[in-house]
Homo-oligomer: A and B are copies of this chain.
């Protein structure tokens, strides 16, 4: 990982995730999106719909990373408090944004009411993030991108966010699949490989534990230098072969 790569954090906002009602998938979507742009996702936090907690987490994360992505809490109901928390974290007002207001009026027509009008409130200085699914926009303020919690909408919003981000060198990976052998049997080999190439990261992910299916380990090498990566993966394969262990480079 070079020093020049931007870093990011994710803040997931919503009681429904912490109560277990909802399995979050937005973190994984954002993680893949950032990986493809060469931005290093460093941490994520999940908080409930609680004002102090949202503000504290947001301030901690936005000070420590180039970008922060939040999901959830920007709808029309009383528990949607993300916009006001972001405004408070930045110390700015929360006026109605003329463009957001126009978008929502167009969307709802006769059905535009006070609750829906809440969604036009954008922290001062905020720039809208387009929502091609249900129109109600997200927004960017400083290095913080505030997006919807509904996965389909959040994913669509990332399209509008992408051009605003500085990308880094993409981290590539190679996976060496080792069937029939637990990670403890090949840990020494992996440790030696990791020590030899400190510019790459080596991970070990067992699969098939305790089931009747196949048991084994995926060794994943990650790094920004494709040639170094290929060499490391090839060396791992050779090392495994020398131990009499079958393995396949899965690319």
Q: Which residues on A are within 8 Å of B, measured CB to CB?
A: 15-25, 27-28, 31-35, 41-49, 53, 57, 75-79, 108, 111, 113-116, 118-119, 133-134, 150, 152-153, 171, 173, 183-185, 187-188, 190-191, 194-195, 201-206, 209-211, 220, 222
Contact = CB atoms under 8 A, between A and B. Distances in A.
Nearest to A108: B184
Given A46-B43, A153-B210, A77 B185 contact: no
Contacts of A190: 77-78
A31 B19 contact: yes
Contacts of A119: 184
Given A22-B28, A76-B183, 4 more contacts: A20-B34, A24-B28, A45-B46, A76-B187
Contact of A31 (B17, B47, B173): B17
Q: Which 7 A-B pairs have the closest CB atoms?
A: A115-B187, A20-B31, A20-B32, A133-B210, A116-B184, A76-B184, A44-B46
Contacts of A41: 18-20
Contacts of A49: 203
A104 to B, nearest CB: 9
A31 B43 contact: no
22 contacts: A15-B203, A16-B203, A18-B44, A19-B173, A19-B222, A20-B31, A20-B32, A23-B25, A24-B27, A24-B28, A27-B46, A43-B45, A44-B46, A76-B184, A78-B191, A79-B194, A113-B187, A113-B188, A116-B184, A119-B184, A134-B209, A153-B210
